[in-house]
Chain A
Amino acid sequence: MRELICITCPRGCHLVVDDNKNVTGNFCPRGVTYAISEVTHPVRVVTSTVKLTNSVYPRVSVKTKDPIPKSKIGAVMEEINRVSLKAPVKIGDIAIQNVLNLGVDVVVTKNIDK
């Protein structure tokens, strides 16, 4: 059994998912969809920064282009922390291709000329 707060709308229903994936506590059907996906395959977009050289700014922001499994956040951060880019960089530049073979790239989210 797991307890969740629904994030689909401001109401924030307190959901309970039992071992048979029955959802209770939801005000509307969207709560069920949210709860099932959270207990079966929770995913998150990771946003962070990477080192940047050749710039007055020592960091540039990045994100995983698509959500990755929640369980992989720590491992992806370790990869992100190893990367160093050189200015100029622009939005969409690939910082890490196919990070940890998850099929997702880590991409730059800011334009920095110098």
Chain B
Amino acid sequence: MIKKHYDLVVIGGGSAGMAGAIEAHKLGIKNILIIDRNDYLGGILNQCVHNGFGLTEFKEELTGPEFMTRLSDEVKALNIEYVLNTTVTSILPDKTIFASNREGYHIIKAKAILVTTGCYERNAGAIMLPGERPSGVITAGTAQLYLNVYGYLVGKRVFILGSGDIGLIMARRLTLEGAKVLGVAEICPYSNGLNRNIVQCLKDYNIPLYLSHTVSDVKGSDGRLLGITISQVDEHNNIIPGTAKGFECDTLLLSVGLVPNSPLLRDAGVELSRNKGAIINERYETNICGIFTAGNVLHVHDLVDLVTKESRLVAHYINEYLKGNSIIDQIYRPVVAGDGLGYVLPHKVGTHPLDEVTFKFRVRRPVKDVNVIFYEDNQTIKSVFKPVLIPSEMTEITLSLDELKQFKQTINVKLEQKQ
């Protein structure tokens, strides 16, 4: 039975939501509710049957379902309240939550909300995939659900657009289940997946990776995919004429990026950044006091271990908020990402941070031997050497309270090639 009042409502019971709720409970917040739309706790990990999860969180290598079960077992052991098969339809700035399920329509008041609704896959429409729109063109994660949970193959001759990790993982899974994976095209001149997946999902099965290539045409007949054409692109991602290669296939998997699933936040009045995650301060609080966010709905992580770590940290700040330790009238110093940086989190840092702040960022393209410099005007406040940074791996650099104190107006971050 859902109650009318909670100290903390966690929306989304995936890894971020569960880790946040567990940590919040351990910090002493007792009146917690987790809401999830699926009939289990664990979110997308349920369909990620491959391994490679948990090396930092549990110090052993687990599959997705094992990882999520470790967390859900703990949620249950701690008697944290959760409700399944329930969709939050909207939240209000006063932290009223509206949720719908087969038992009814529930109006819940929370003192704090943690939004951990994960991400969704960028799809054919959003990338303006050229050509026709037959069936058989499907996002990699949806195909993964059909395959790993329901036991269906979308098709048997597969091409994959995008070298994101889900696409690579699916290349191997589809091959093992009897499909022929013809190749993977990546528009960037480098892979966007982990090297480990390039090796163990593509090279192990002799699946070619076409870098600097994209799908330039999609052909169908009677609504079903017949084949695709890929073409090489120049440095501006324009197709180079005369480089077209055709493939007959019945499936085109799209692994072209993930986008924070943030409409609930936006509808509540939360400001979003360009990547569609919320704009947050160093306490992972949005512009609405008491609404916090973590995990892939904030920014897409490469490893679930980083998601749970982030969410635990946010639980700490929620606890401080509920104890009344939020500093509302502080002035924020914006964090400005320089050339070559995709984004830097947090987006702003108050004048009175409670703790040191770990900045998280991604580079736009692979770089070697660079200094990451935190500076204001001409004064370098911190410089950290990195031998290699790649877009598919998030980087973290922590600044101490003393270092943070030195910034007056803005916190600038840039990359500088080491001489």
Contact = CB atoms under 8 A, between A and B. Distances in A.
Establish whether A and B are touching in the complex (CB under 8 Å): yes
Contacts of B199: 4-5, 7
B371 interface: no
- Chain B: interface size category: 20 to 34
Interface residues on A, range: 20 to 34
B245 interface: no
Interface stretch (B62-70, B83-91, B134-142): B62-70
A8 B188 CA distance: 23
Contacts of A57: 149-150
B42 to A, nearest CB: 9
Interface string B185-217: 000000000111011100110000000000000
Given A51-B151, A109-B63, A5 B69 contact: no
Given A58-B150, A63-B63, A47 B50 contact: yes
Interface stretch (B14-22, B227-235, B376-384, B387-395): B387-395
A5 B65 CA distance: 29
B196 to A, nearest CB: 4
B50 A49 contact: no
Nearest to A48: B176
Interface in B357-392: 387-390, 392
Contacts of B196: 7
B287 interface: no
Nearest to B42: A110
A73 interface: yes
A63 B388 CA distance: 33
A10 interface: yes
Given A61-B65, A63-B51, A11 B387 contact: yes
Contacts of A47: 49-51, 63
A109 B200 CA distance: 20
B363 to A, nearest CB: 11
Given A5-B199, A10-B390, A110 B150 contact: no
Given A58-B150, A111-B69, A12 B195 contact: yes
Contacts of A58: 150-151
Given A61-B148, A110-B69, 6 more contacts: A7-B196, A7-B200, A10-B388, A48-B49, A61-B63, A63-B63
25 contacts: A5-B199, A5-B203, A7-B200, A10-B389, A10-B392, A11-B387, A12-B390, A45-B61, A46-B176, A58-B151, A59-B150, A61-B64, A61-B65, A62-B49, A63-B63, A73-B176, A73-B204, A91-B65, A91-B66, A109-B65, A109-B66, A110-B46, A110-B66, A110-B69, A111-B69
Interface of B: 46, 49-51, 61-66, 69, 147-151, 173, 176-177, 194-196, 198-200, 203-204, 387-390, 392-393
> What are the 3 A-B residue pairs with the smallest beta carbon separation, nearest first?
A110-B65, A61-B49, A7-B196
